[in-house]
Amino acid sequence: MDLSTTAQNNDFSGMNLLKFTLFTLLLGLVSATFAAPSTIPSAPKLAATGYVLMDYQSGQILAEHNGKQRLEPASLTKMMTAYVIFHELKSGHISLSDRVLVSEKAWRMTGSRMFIEVGSEVSVEQLLKGMIIQSGNDASVALAEYVAGSEENFVPLMNTQAEQLKLEGSRFANSTGLSHPEHYTTAYDMALLAMAIIRDFPEYYSWYSEKSYKYNNIEQNNRNLLLTRDESVDGLKTGHTDAAGYCLVASAKRKDMRLISVIMGTKSEKARASESLKLINYGFRFFETHLLYSAAQQLKQMRIWKGERESLDLGLSEELYVTVPRGQYKNLSATTNIDRTIIAPVTLGQPFGQVNIRLGDEVLVERPLVALQSVAEGGLVQLVKDNVLLMFE
């Protein structure tokens, strides 16, 4: 089956010409006031230094302002601290039940705290909850020291993960988010980091939705006000310093669609919540996300020369989602650009072209088409046969 047929089965081609003509004539009898708008309104203008609205599944940016401008992250930093700790847990280097001896440095941390006592032993799980829910600077430092021996040694782990996640506008200098000239990020990078936390560590993500946490007989509320204002919001993290202003990374899921919003540099705790909600509501109201192709789904079958077999399946290495304005899904089209001559040997995942998803004249997504199986070089007879045939190809 060629890609155009696949696209047709996914309802990309729209109505045939006859049906469309009849429908248009019938529609002309109806008042124009009932017609659906062909465009969507612009994103709301927000009182923030920078912001981004991203669809979780497609990764498409639906709205942004100064999305890649370097800004101070404040306690949004603790998302990266948590990501590193989650990675250590997954690698088996540490466990949730490990007991961490609280240092004097961790105990003396200023700002938001979970109120751990110097010399006490606190579990990794308790410290993670204290950092995620209560935004504890003391918990962040205690975890950094436990994993790397010191907070200074922990910082390179943060920057290594930032590089691997392609957070190109970010650099970290501490585990807490306290102001430092070499500590910065972007709204776009924070959206990518939020996506990575949800995708890579779903077993821990639920902690970001907990509304309060009690430790040392002190109960503190999660500073993310959206957790109590909108039941679709289930994370992630707030931040605030005088230099950074009030920041919030939020994620919300309604039906099968998840959005991530990042607001940085607002004037108050209330403002970061209300501005975030404006952005989230805009995304859900005017956009929709669809799965177009599954990972390893055959999109093209091509002739392969000089191989142990004569056909090669091409497809995508990952699921392909696309986000479009509501009502525009039927207007999507898919085209391919594929290498004309494919010669064995071929390895699984080797690229041989790309698929383009368009909405009108706009290319929404470009993805490489890759080999869905390895094909070894054929025997002598096959090589001779294909050499002759290629002379006429």
* Backbone phi and psi for residue 284, each to the nearest 5 degrees, phi listed first: -70, -30
> Per the residue annotation, which of 75, 170, 261, 276 is the catalytic one?
75
Residue 137: helix, strand or coil by DSSP? Answer: helix
Helix (H) / strand (E) containing 9 = helix 3-9
- Non-local (6+) Cβ contacts of 162 within 8 A are 80, 170, 171, 172, 189
Helix (H) / strand (E) containing 125 = helix 124-132
323 vs 291: CA distance, rounded Å: 9
Whole-angstrom CA distances from 101 to 108, 119, 224 are 14, 6, 29
The number of beta carbons lying within 10 Å of the beta carbon of residue 124 is 21
Q: Is there a catalytic annotation at residue 135?
A: yes
Residue 315 exposure: Cα atoms within 13 Å on the Cβ side: 19
126 vs 116: CA distance, rounded Å: 10
Specify the DSSP class assigned to residue 45. Answer: P
Q: Is there a catalytic annotation at residue 78?
A: yes
Burial class, 53, CB count within 10 angstroms (exposed 0-12 / middle 13-18 / buried 19+) = buried
59: left (phi over 0), alpha (psi -120 to 50) or beta: left
Cis peptide before 202 (omega within 30 of 0): no
92 vs 99: CA distance, rounded Å: 15
Cis peptide before 236 (omega within 30 of 0): yes
> Per the residue annotation, which of 103, 112, 135, 140 is the catalytic one?
135
Q: How many residues does the chain have?
A: 393
Annotated catalytic residues are 75, 78, 135
